[in-house]
Structure 1
Amino acid sequence: MSSPPILPISVTSLYKSSIASPALRAFASRSSDSLRRAFARRRPWTELADHTAFSRPDTLAVAASRVRKNASYFRVNYLTVVAAEHPVVVYGRTFSDAETLGVLIALTVIVFFLTSVGSLLLWAALVGSAIVCVHGAFRVPEDLFLDDQEQMGPGLFSYVGGAASSAAVAAVPSVVISRA
């Protein structure tokens, strides 16, 4: 007695791409390239924290100029610091994620009932901006631009805009209309 013949089974669903449309695939590819280019612009951390390059600005205009130059030069480093997920260390003691979360929840509840949510968000943005401005104002930028060949746009997120617009243009199918 022979066994029945083996039926061929196709499993094409396993081999399909997780990104369905070509437009979405192009967008993901361009976004990935944009992030790679952005992190390639990150400056060395020793250069960011070089204490010999700090000095008190003479005037408010000098401080504002330093903030603009340093924000443009260290933008990726600043964004990395803000988005970091490293454990919290205070006086040599490392706090676990659960402890940090518990303290943050307790502080959030206290602050939520003592203030309004809008002012809380405003303070968070102001503190982050103040940290960037203090570093930018006190960091002397004279030696930063010697090796830069390309001109950067203004703003902290300027490297994102170009890739997003080019990805949107690539995602739109081109239609050719001819008149006969």
Structure 2
Amino acid sequence: MASPPTLPISQSATNGGQSQPPIATPAFRSFITRLTSSVRQGLAQRRPWLELVDRSSLARPDSLTDAASRIRKNFSYFRVNYVTLLALVLALSLLSHPLSLLVLLGLLASWFFLYLFRPSDQPIVLFGRTFTDRETLGVLVVSTIVVVFLTSVGSLLISALLVGLAIVCTHGAFRVPEDLFLDDQEPANAGFLSFLGGAASSAAAAAAPAVAVRV
């Protein structure tokens, strides 16, 4: 009796659904690691929160000039604390509007995984059509404009920032800065600026190779 013919096994069949590697996970992990490290270094420079909310140091300013001077001095001293407050207000606003939060996260994820951290040798194929990098960038830019200016996401972000700035300015105007050690504010400023610079450089360093290839 003749043996049945052996069916050839293709390489694509053995690989199953793993024909394409993950989307730039090492670059994305490096970006998250650098950003997290920069944020931790910046938060380490914050002033004690009890010093920020000391009720005995609150007093009504004598004039608008006095209020502006207090805001300037308090912002120089509590810079990291104030930015943390702004971030908390923004986070609470987004958490209170889950739909806007999901839309914003989806937009950020699209930028990260469809353009910034997507290898240039892995084109986007949708409904049998291959999209070039320029077409992908155009779709992302248009989507960002629509989300920010034509939906409630943009107004929510602006409202949250305005509320946060109002809280910061009110505290800065009523917080008497005479008891603050303003002579050592330069190291704090340097630390905070290094936090911002580190976060920005992390994003640039992680995304620059992918963007440079596409330009």
Give the TM-score of the pair, scaled to structure 1.
0.52
1:20 maps to 25
1:163 maps to 198
1:102-141 mapped onto 2 (5 Å cutoff): 123-141=159-177
1:31 maps to 35
Contact kept, 8 Å, 1:70 with 1:136, in 2: the verdict is yes
Mapped to 2, the partners of 1:163 and 1:119 lie a distance apart of 29
Contact kept, 8 Å, 1:42 with 1:77, in 2: the verdict is yes
2:182 maps to 145
Contact kept, 8 Å, 1:26 with 1:170, in 2: the verdict is no
Deviations 1:48-67 (A, max 9, x none): 11122122222212211211
Number of aligned pairs?
127
Of residues 49, 53, 58, the one that matches 2:57 is: 53
Mapped to 2, the partners of 1:50 and 1:158 lie a distance apart of 26
Of residues 39, 43, 46, the one that matches 2:47 is: 43
Decide whether aligned partners of structure 1 residues 140 and 32 sit closer, same or farther in structure 2, where only a CA change above 3 A counts: same
Mapped to 2, the partners of 1:36 and 1:130 lie a distance apart of 26
Q: CA deviation at 1:133?
A: 0.8
Mapped to 2, the partners of 1:33 and 1:20 lie a distance apart of 18
Mapped to 2, the partners of 1:151 and 1:57 lie a distance apart of 25
Which consecutive unaligned segments of at least 5 residues does structure 1 have?
1-16, 87-96, 102-116, 174-180
Mapped to 2, the partners of 1:145 and 1:81 lie a distance apart of 21
1:111 maps to none
Amino acid in the other structure paired with 1:138: F
Decide whether aligned partners of structure 1 residues 124 and 166 sit closer, same or farther in structure 2, where only a CA change above 3 A counts: closer
Mapped to 2, the partners of 1:148 and 1:75 lie a distance apart of 10
1:178 maps to none
2:108 maps to none
Q: CA deviation at 1:79?
A: 3.9
Give the TM-score of the pair, scaled to structure 2.
0.45
Contact kept, 8 Å, 2:76 with 2:185, in 1: the verdict is no
Q: CA deviation at 1:169?
A: 5.5
1:64 maps to 68
Secondary structure of 1:42's counterpart equals coil
Q: Which has the higher helix share?
A: 2
Secondary structure of 2:162's counterpart equals helix
Amino acid in the other structure paired with 2:182: F
Q: CA deviation at 1:149?
A: 5.0
Mapped to 2, the partners of 1:119 and 1:32 lie a distance apart of 28
